[in-house]
């Protein structure tokens, strides 16, 4: 599947930790947008879409959550549970985020500005799109 774990270098010292993420360095794309999801209510599941072009890096920088990833052929569930660990998601991957701890802050770095026309929000349409019919 076109997803990859990401481990950020931690600049730790006696004071604590610091992580820095630069576009085209640690992050293999131009960062055109940053957003974060927090105060997620118990039991909420969100996402339910794929992107035609957008690439994203997801890091749960506080708390924990899970992500279901689906490329139309295989499904994978990943746990985001460390502030220095993330998952790169390429285009054409269906994602659902769930099991958010009450303190979860899910940070997303995105390769494009928000564009609703890049979304595929219907699962059957997603399957048709990736399977080319
Ligand atoms: P939504 O797509 O439902 O989030 P998710 O896929 O994570 O469940 O987005 C919620 C709202 O926020 C929706 O009205 C669109 C808006 N939004 C933006 O304005 N900019 C953004 O970058 C994102 C991701 C969402």
Does ligand 1 come within 6 angstroms of the Cβ of 63? Answer: no
75 within a domain of the structure (yes/no):
yes
pTM: 0.96
Within a domain: 97: yes
- Alpha carbon of 105 to ligand 1 centroid (Å): 15
- Whether ligand 1 lies within 6 angstroms of the CB of 108 is answered as no
pLDDT digits (tens, 9 = 90+) for 82-99: 999 999 999 999 999 999
The strand pairing partners of 43, in sequence order, are none
> 36: Cβ below 6 Å to ligand 1?
no
Question: Which atom of ligand 1 is least distant from the CA of 46?
Answer: 8
Q: Is residue 68 part of a domain?
A: yes
pLDDT of the residue at 56: 97
What is the Cα–Cα distance from 34 to 107, expressed in whole angstroms?
7
Tell me, yes or no, whether 16 lies in a domain. Answer: no
For 109-131, the pLDDT digits (tens) are 999 999 999 999 999 999 999 99
Number of domains in the chain: 1
pLDDT of 133 > 80? The answer is no
Residue 104 lies in a domain: yes
Domain that holds residue 92: 3-9+22-130
Structural domain includes residue 102: yes
* CATH code of the domain in which 98 resides: 2.60.120.10
Catalytic annotation on 49? Answer: yes
Report yes or no on 14 lying in a domain.
no
The answer to whether residue 5 scores a pLDDT higher than 90 is yes
Strand order in the sheet with 105-110: 3-7, 85-89, 56-62, 105-110, 33-38
The tokens of 133 are what?
């019919």
| pLDDT tens digits along 6-40 | 999 999 999 999 999 999 999 999 999 999 999 99
17 in a domain, yes or no? Answer: no
Rounded CA gap, 122 and 52, in Å?
A: 13
- Indicate whether residue 33 lines ligand 1 (CB < 6 A): yes
Condensed to tens digits (0 to 9), the pLDDT of residues 47-77 reads 999 999 999 999 999 999 999 999 999 999 9
Nearest CA to ligand 1 atom 4: 47
Size of the chain, expressed as the number of residues it contains: 133
């Amino acid at each position: 599947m076109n997803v990859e774990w990401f481990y950020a270098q931690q600049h730790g010292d006696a004071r604590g930790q610091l992580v820095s993420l630069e576009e085209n360095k640690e992050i293999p794309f131009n960062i055109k947008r940053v957003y974060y999801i927090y105060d997620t209510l118990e039991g909420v599941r969100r996402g339910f879409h794929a992107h035609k072009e957008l690439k994203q890096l997801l890091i749960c920088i506080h708390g924990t959550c899970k992500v279901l990833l689906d490329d139309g052929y295989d499904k994978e569930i990943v746990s985001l549970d460390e502030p220095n660990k993330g998952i790169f998601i390429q285009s054409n991957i269906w994602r659902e985020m769930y099991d958010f701890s009450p303190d979860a802050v899910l940070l997303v770095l995105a390769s494009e500005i928000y564009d609703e026309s890049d979304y595929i929000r219907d699962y059957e349409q997603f399957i048709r799109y990736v399977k080319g019919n």
